[in-house]
Chains A and B, each alone.
Chain A
Amino acid sequence: MLVFVIRRLLQSALVLLAVSLVVFAGIYAIGNPVDILLPDDANETERQAAIRALGLDRPLLVQYGIFLLKAVQGDLGTSFVYNIPSIELIFSRLPATLELAMCALFISIAVGIPLGLWAGLRPGTKTDEAIVTGSILGFSLPSFWQGLMLIMIFSVTLGWLPSNGRGATGTLFGIETSFATWDGFTHLLLPAINLSLFKLALMIRLTRAGVRETMPLDFIKFARAKGVSETRIVLAHVLKYILVPIITVIGMELGAVIAFATVTETIFAWPGMGKLIIDSINKLDRPVIVAYLMVVTLMFIVINLVVDILYALLDPRVRIKGQTE
């Protein structure tokens, strides 16, 4: 197990290195970094100072080394717009995004898995067909338009829920969260639903496919031959069996949800890092873009690592293989 983790960590470091190279190439090598890193109104003296300060007169490889060295120390530049270190800016927005992403993921799991089970156990019926068609619809709804429709229906027409911003937050179990206040909760609801629908469709399809693949297997028939009830077969045998791939996908999708949050956050004016990146792109606040990319990559890597370890813990077959290796 330890060997497995160490090997995965090494792989992760390699990926991070690759991303840093791509980001470096994208932001620093293409176009003039001075133009990118300095505000437009900088004068010639400032430009020359910047070139020296950034070491742009040195070889490219050395420059990359300096970039890496600074990055390792957590220095990814300073935001032009906010004039604070970009990494700090990202981290200040991170909790709001994580809260939104977690909430959306929870909705998609809590609704998607039961619906997927329901459909998968009744293949070919009207219910099954309706759930499957619904899931395709969920895939097809463009997230931004669906958000607009949610706002139009629930905020403008019905006036039930607020349409933008994060509400008041409070402290719950030592974490600052929207769940602590009613205002925060109502603000969270629409964006979370909006963000969850796509993943909900995915959960339905995944669960349904898993159930349909599992039901004809011999061990299900053997459990029936033992006299085990259908309820227990579904809950103990099928669910446990399909949980492994589902957990894997959930883990990987957490990253995708965070990425997709950019769209939802923009529409609902949710003050997370997704909205920050769109604002930064529009204002050409490149240090923030660089910091966002590195932070998101790091998050992806951590998530993937956690998923792999969880996978090994859940699936006894993988666990044993890891031990013997």
Chain B
Amino acid sequence: MNSEISPTAPAASSSTVDESRLRMLWREYAERRGAVVALIVCVVLLAAAILAPIIAPQNPYDLSVIDIFDSRLPPGSVNPAGFTYWLGTDGQGRDMLSAMIYGLRLSLFVGVLSGLLAISAGVTVGLIAAYAGGAVDALLMRVVDFMLGFPAILVALILLAVLGQGVDKVIFALVMVQWAYFARAVRGTAMIERNKEYVEAAISLGLSRPRIVFGHILPNCMPPIIVIGTMQIAHAISTEATLSFLGLGLPITEPSLGLLIANGFSFLLSGLYWISVFPGLLLLVTIFSINIVGDRLRDVLNPRLQK
């Protein structure tokens, strides 16, 4: 007699549930047109960075194609060989557009890699703290608090002052200033998850510890990791650019966007705006789009976090 309120359709297989959940998330995400645009921009920038050797008009590292007589040309200039510098050239006669694409490649590489490494480190520490509890947890969280107590830029600055320049050192410094955010977030979520019934059920079923941690607790920590990870990658790119601008980040032989801007700094006051402005705009667009995506992800994932 009460067909209307009988339990809904038989349990669907898990893959279709995941699929429909993802589709629902996407639909909610796409409600903000700006967030979709930002996502497209991110994908385009990533593609440009990966394909840099193919799409860049010039190889900025290849000294044979760079002519010092072409230096400081304004945007749109054409050199005697018929090559058009759409965004002008820098102080050494490099095509700005090409230098920017390569710079973006380097900036994204450093940002994404340091982000991923920081996630791995932070997740490991967070899970250990949550699972071990007691003194181990207290000690690890003290370290995390200590790390978070100092501004990232300051810690990175000091680390690089001690370590010196280099891509590996910059990545190391960026991981050092980021991991604590993930550790804290993962520990927080894992502590909540650990006390939920399904974990108890898994334990009573005799599942092994690693299986519970990686199969059950970790998946539930994913939403905060994704959100913080997105924001932190943007932050890492910005920090790397700042460090390189200050002359402490990447060496001059590997010009990231920050270094390109720094190179243009001295020309800025004499009116040669393009050397600094264009790489800066590219940097801003990159960080801005990643942040918009991250912000939207937080809004979309948050209600599920609370459930």
Q: Which residues of A contact B (CB under 8 A)?
A: 15, 18, 26-27, 30, 132-133, 136-137, 139-145, 148-149, 151-152, 156, 163, 255-256, 259-260, 262-263, 266, 277-278, 281-282, 289, 293, 296, 300, 304
Whether A143 lies near B242 (C-beta < 8 A) is yes
Whether B283 lies near A156 (C-beta < 8 A) is no
Closest beta carbon of chain B to A144's beta carbon, Å: 5
Whether B291 lies near A139 (C-beta < 8 A) is yes
Whether A300 lies near B150 (C-beta < 8 A) is yes
A-B contact number at CB 8 A: 96
Q: Which of B234-287 contact A (CB under 8 A)?
A: 234, 238, 241-242, 245-248, 258, 261, 265, 268-269, 271, 273, 276-277, 280, 283-284, 287
Please name all residues of chain A whose beta carbon is closer than 8 Å to the beta carbon of B261 when the two chains form the complex: 144-145, 148
Closest beta carbon of chain B to A129's beta carbon, Å: 8
Known: A26-B162, A148-B268, A152-B273. Contact between A262 and B146, CB under 8 A?
A: no
Closest beta carbon of chain B to A160's beta carbon, Å: 15
Please name all residues of chain B whose beta carbon is closer than 8 Å to the beta carbon of A266 when the two chains form the complex: 246
- Overall SS of chain A's interface: helix
Whether A259 lies near B242 (C-beta < 8 A) is no
Whether A142 lies near B283 (C-beta < 8 A) is yes
Extra contacts besides A136-B288, A156-B271, A259-B150 (20): CB < 8 Å: A15-B146, A26-B158, A132-B295, A133-B34, A133-B292, A140-B284, A142-B245, A142-B284, A143-B242, A144-B242, A144-B245, A145-B280, A145-B284, A152-B273, A163-B269, A262-B246, A263-B242, A263-B246, A300-B149, A300-B150
Whether B149 lies near A281 (C-beta < 8 A) is no
Report, as a range, how many residues of chain B touch the other chain: 35 or more
Whether B268 lies near A156 (C-beta < 8 A) is yes
Q: Which residues of B contact A (CB under 8 A)?
A: 34, 146, 149-151, 153-154, 157-158, 161-162, 234, 238, 241-242, 245-248, 258, 261, 265, 268-269, 271, 273, 276-277, 280, 283-284, 287-288, 291-292, 295
Please name all residues of chain A whose beta carbon is closer than 8 Å to the beta carbon of B154 when the two chains form the complex: 259, 262, 296
Whether B151 lies near A148 (C-beta < 8 A) is no
- A315 vs B292: C-alpha distance when bound (angstroms): 34
Please name all residues of chain A whose beta carbon is closer than 8 Å to the beta carbon of B288 when the two chains form the complex: 136-137, 140
Known: A136-B295, A289-B161. Contact between A142 and B287, CB under 8 A?
A: yes
Please name all residues of chain B whose beta carbon is closer than 8 Å to the beta carbon of A255 when the two chains form the complex: 150-151
Closest beta carbon of chain B to A295's beta carbon, Å: 12
Please name all residues of chain A whose beta carbon is closer than 8 Å to the beta carbon of B283 when the two chains form the complex: 142, 145
Q: Given B234, B248, B280, B291, which contacts A149 in the complex, CB threshold below 8 Å?
A: B280
Known: A142-B283, A144-B242. Contact between A136 and B292, CB under 8 A?
A: yes
- A30 vs B151: C-alpha distance when bound (angstroms): 23
- A30 vs B158: C-alpha distance when bound (angstroms): 14
- A137 vs B289: C-alpha distance when bound (angstroms): 9
- A259 vs B149: C-alpha distance when bound (angstroms): 12
Whether B295 lies near A262 (C-beta < 8 A) is no
- A18 vs B150: C-alpha distance when bound (angstroms): 13
Q: Given A151, A152, A259, which contacts B151 in the complex, CB threshold below 8 Å?
A: A259
Whether A289 lies near B158 (C-beta < 8 A) is yes
Known: A145-B284, A282-B247. Contact between A152 and B268, CB under 8 A?
A: yes
